Structures are given as structure tokens and as C-alpha cells.
Structure 1
């Protein structure tokens, strides 16, 4: 009888231990999702992966972030809505899409607002700029904590070298389906077309469109340069993305973990930018730079002079005026002042 009692006690102790473990384990392994649309080899994807690794290390594995590249969790608008509703914890979304939720972030999509990459980065890294722009997000169900980027956008076409706004007039241009982008190319006298990204190559090849605008790395990797031999480094828009966290999830984190997330966001953009390095970027799985690839394949690259860029900026005055009315003088004047302060 004593032996039987001992066995029963041991069994009960074991069951209690297992029961306690079942409720203890989740506290040590909170797995959350981070979605974005960049392909795995892209600088943005590398930045997101660095974010996830940093958070896991600094929380001693308590927060494990699973990253989902290439739109695996849906398009950017869908992911933004998922973050709002709390079904997705984190995503990084282009401002061109986020402006549908937070109109003020459209300021970052203003064409030719940044004179160069260096000034753009210095402005975006300014703590006051981040505080100002990110302050609009909580009311919309987001907490904005940092940046990633696609790249600075350039212009390619199969008709002629583009040096001036007049050179774009009359061209049929595929643009991202965003009001700012459509307005930009209408103002330049082009016929903008919002066709889906996967259809660009065939549309160029068959003459449905004459031109397209994308970061030069994207343009080369998607082989658009096979059917457009003229590349102009217009750098008309920086396709900036904002890392957004669902408000409910963010508020569930203790301050120490929130700080880790903010630090991870800084690492993400640093990693992202180190990969996105303009014409000197090496194509994936090669040691060939974009500049060398263009030379080897007979692609003409036009780098605008300061005067040529200024002409494009002046041509954008009506677009700026239109969006100033939509998003307000406050954010518009604030950003122009900050950009001027960081320009060298």
C-alpha cells in the first residue's frame, strides 16, 4: 500500500510539473510576425532580418520575430490593415501606401524634395523629424519606430536620353499606383499608367509603355534594361518605408523591450542603407557593380547636373502646392526647413 501511495504522489507531482511548464513556456518564447514586400536579397530584407536577430539576442530569446519577405503576408495595404487590427504585429510599409492612412507622411513622397541621398539620410535621422512624422501615427492604430527603404527612384525609357522635364513630355510611363506619383508625371507632360509591377517588362517590350520609374537595382534585376536602354538618375523620390507596430502589441511591451525595438530599428536602416549604395551596388551573387553592368550591356546612364535637377524641382511646384493644401503648411514647412538645414 505504501508503494502504491508513493507512485500516486510521484505521478501527481509529475502532472503538476508538466501543467506548470505548459503555462511557463510561452513567457520565454513569444513568436511574432514582421512582414514586408522586399525580396530576400534586397537591402530592406537584410535590414528586417537584422532587426529580428537583434531583438531575439537582446531579449534573450523571449521575443522571436519571424520575418516574412516578398509580400508573403499580403500587399502593403493589406499588411497595414493587419497591423491596425492586431492580426500582424509589425510591418514596414512604403509612405506611398501609408499616406492612405496617415496623410502627413506624403511629405516624404514629394518629388525632388531631397537634393541628394546624403541630405535625405541626414534629414530622416534627425530626431525632431522622426518625432514629428511619427506623432501622427498612434491615432491611426500604429506606433512608428523607424525606417527601412526600397531605394531612390530613377527613370528609364526606350525613346531618348532624358536631361530635362521637356524630355519626358509625351512618354507613356508606368508609375507606382499612388496619387503623388501619378500627379508627378502628369505634371511633366507624360501619360502615367498604373499597371501592375509584374507586367512592366512585357508592356515595355510590346510598346504599351515607353518608360518606367524604379530604383536602378530593381530595374536591372527585373531586366527592364533589356528593353529600355536610357537610364536617368533622376532620384525623384526616395521610396521610404516606416516600421509600424500595432498599438495594442506595442503597449503590451515593457519599456525596456520597447527600447530594444527602437534600437533594432536603427540597426535595420543602417543595414538597409549599406546594401543600397547606388551605382556601386554589386548585383546579387556577383561582384559586378551596376555601373559595370551598364557599361558591359550598352546601357546609357545619365547623371543629372545640379542645374538639371533644379529644373525638375521647379517643374514640380504645382504638385507641391496641391499636397501642401492636403497635408498642411505645418509639416510641409517643417520638412523644407529641416532639409535645408541638413543640405551641404
Structure 2
């Protein structure tokens, strides 16, 4: 699939092919650019909603003809593939993606979304408002060719499982799916669990078939993927607050005219903020609705502080390893 398509004369296609970016000459200058987005979810998910808002805002701020196509419901694969496509400058121009999927390019990327980094939602918002992750975003842009143009997310992550888990003793040996970045496996292992990396779209079947007993996600993910059907016990570990950057391909960006670049940057920040409001504002309501319908049961977890103490040394070591000690200190000082 080509990174973007041009509507109109064949000369436009030839020009795009020849230049490989936004190089347009002659008649092609009058043609309409199409930017492609990708989402694992449908229209009701906060990530897709943020991307749709992004498209609307770019059109508003650019003020010239431009088309957007958002490929939903994993039509173009999963977030890991979106990051690879954006890095290559093909198929996907923008997407919401987990920082964990950027670890192949940047070792520091997963730090943005690591467990027990934030005390609560207010702390999370202050960290994002102060743009403390800019050095890591710059590293990702340089090494992966993926720009983080805004920070979405805001869902509190808990462990959904086939059994209730109320303390560390009951958590010991729990076979749980984690994201692909090593920091997730290290932190979960430190608490006594048995973490394993499984593709997001395979989690449901893996639990159903007894390969794993649990996974971890925010309310929107639990609802959208129907994880409650196979793991109805939602253990309220509150171990992380989701950060999902709205990403844009650097290769695509470099080929855009300056006024469109400005519109992308402005719209990215605003659309991601909108996504944060939607997700954080609806997080608790989603769980209340699911529980009221008898689809899941929220289980109080009594050892969060003890869990954090086990994870803190792992996080400190990780910060030293990637040169993010200063960022961690600033986050903890807020």
C-alpha cells in the first residue's frame, strides 16, 4: 500500500512516485493529498476518536483541500505494525501507538508509559502538561522517524484475570500477558508474577485456552476487546496510567508544505488533549456499566504500595540505563 494517494491525473501519481515524498510538479500541485491513519479499534474507542478529531482540526487549520482515511478495526494490523509503517514512510501516516512498540528503535521509548510512574491522574496530567518527555520524544523522532505530536490516553490500567487477586501472595506466579517492551516483563516479574509477551489480538484466545490467566489494560481496552468474557475478575492494581502518543511519520511530515506542517503540529496537540479528556473522563463510567451488567467484577487490591516498592528499584535501574534519571527525578518531584 502506498503511503499516500493522489486523486486526479496520472501525472500526479507519477510525480509522487518520482519524488517519493510530497514532491509535486505541474498539474499535480492542484491535486488533493490523502493522509492515512490506522487504529486497532472502532469509532467508539478514545484512540479512534482522537484521530478523527485530529483530521478535523488539520482540515480546519490548513484551510485547503486535504483528505483523510482512517483504517479502523486493525485493518492495517496492530500498533507495532503502525510504528514500523510510519518509520518506513509507507501505508500509515499517523496513528495512536503504545511507546512499548517503539522500543525496537529507541530503548528509552517505553519509559513514557512504564508501570508505577504516576501517583494518580492529577500527577499524570501535570507531567504531560510540563512536557517532561520531550528528550525521549526527540530520541524517538531521531531513531524511529516517528514524531510524537500529542499525548493521549488517561485510562487507569488494572489486571483482568480468571481469578480474584487481592494481595501479593495471591498474585505470586500469576501468568499474565504484558506489552513487548522489556521494562514491563521486568517490573511484573519483580512483583512475583509470571509475565509473558503475547500479541494484543491473541490475548483473548490465550486466556480462553489456558495459556495465560490474565492481562492488563485500561477500561476502554477491556470493553472493546471483551476481555471480561474470559477474565471477568478485574483486580484493581492501578499499576499504570496509559499514555498513548498520537504519532506522525517524519518522512511524511518532511514532504508536506510548511502551512500543512504547522496545522499538523497544532492539531496533534489539541486532538491528543481531547483524547485524554474522553478516556480519563469515561474510564470509571465504563467499568461501572460493565459491572452493573454483570460482565465483570472489580476486586479491591490491598498491596499496591507494597507492589510499588518492589517495582521502584527496577524503574530506577531502567532510568539509569537509558539516561532518564533526570526525567524520573522531575516526575517524582511534582
- What TM-score results when the alignment is normalised by the length of structure 1? 0.78
Match of 2:76, SS? coil
| 2:333 match | 340
| 2:8 match | none
Match of 1:156 among 133, 144, 160: 160
Indicate whether 1:294 and 2:281 are aligned: no
Shift of 1:304: 5.0
Tell me if structure 1 keeps the 8 A contact 2:155–2:280.
no
Between 1:316-325 and 1:53-62, the stretch displaced more is: 316-325
The runs of at least 4 consecutive aligned structure 1 residues that moved more than 6 Å come to: none
Shift of 1:183: 1.7
> Which string of whole-angstrom CA distances, capped at 9 and with x for unpartnered residues, describes residues 259-300 of structure 1?
321221122223212321367555xxxxxx421431441743
Give distance in 1, aligned partners of 2:188 and 2:210.
18
Match of 1:311 among 306, 311, 317: 306
Match of 2:151 among 135, 139, 147: 147
| 2:13 match | none
Match of 1:216 among 210, 214, 219: 219
* Matches for 1:179-198 after TM superposition, within 5 Å: 179-198=182-201
| 1:99 match | 103
Indicate whether 1:109 and 2:104 are aligned: no
Shift of 1:243: 2.8
| 1:14 match | none
Q: Are residues 52 and 94 of structure 1, via their aligned partners in 2, closer, same or farther at CA, if it must alter by over 3 Å?
A: same
Q: Are residues 266 and 166 of structure 1, via their aligned partners in 2, closer, same or farther at CA, if it must alter by over 3 Å?
A: same
Shift of 1:54: 0.9
Match of 2:241 among 238, 241, 259: 238
Larger Rg, first or second structure (1 or 2): 1
Give distance in 2, aligned partners of 1:143 and 1:279.
27
* Matches for 1:1-344 after TM superposition, within 5 Å: 23-24=26-27, 26-27=29-30, 29-87=32-90, 88-127=92-131, 129-140=132-143, 141-149=145-153, 151-162=155-166, 164-277=167-280, 289-297=286-294, 299-303=296-300, 308-328=303-323, 331-341=324-334
Q: Are residues 335 and 325 of structure 1, via their aligned partners in 2, closer, same or farther at CA, if it must alter by over 3 Å?
A: closer
Shift of 1:31: 1.4
Match of 1:291, SS? helix
Q: Are residues 270 and 294 of structure 1, via their aligned partners in 2, closer, same or farther at CA, if it must alter by over 3 Å?
A: same
Tell me if structure 2 keeps the 8 A contact 1:40–1:46.
yes
> Which string of whole-angstrom CA distances, capped at 9 and with x for unpartnered residues, describes residues 155-178 of structure 1?
12233332x333310222122333
Give distance in 1, aligned partners of 2:314 and 2:256.
41
| 1:13 match | none
Match of 1:34, SS? strand
| Unaligned 5+ runs, structure 2 | 1-24
> Which string of whole-angstrom CA distances, capped at 9 and with x for unpartnered residues, describes residues 73-99 of structure 1?
333333222222222433332101112
Q: Are residues 149 and 35 of structure 1, via their aligned partners in 2, closer, same or farther at CA, if it must alter by over 3 Å?
A: same
Match of 2:275, SS? helix
- What TM-score results when the alignment is normalised by the length of structure 2? 0.81
RMSD of aligned alpha carbons: 2.7
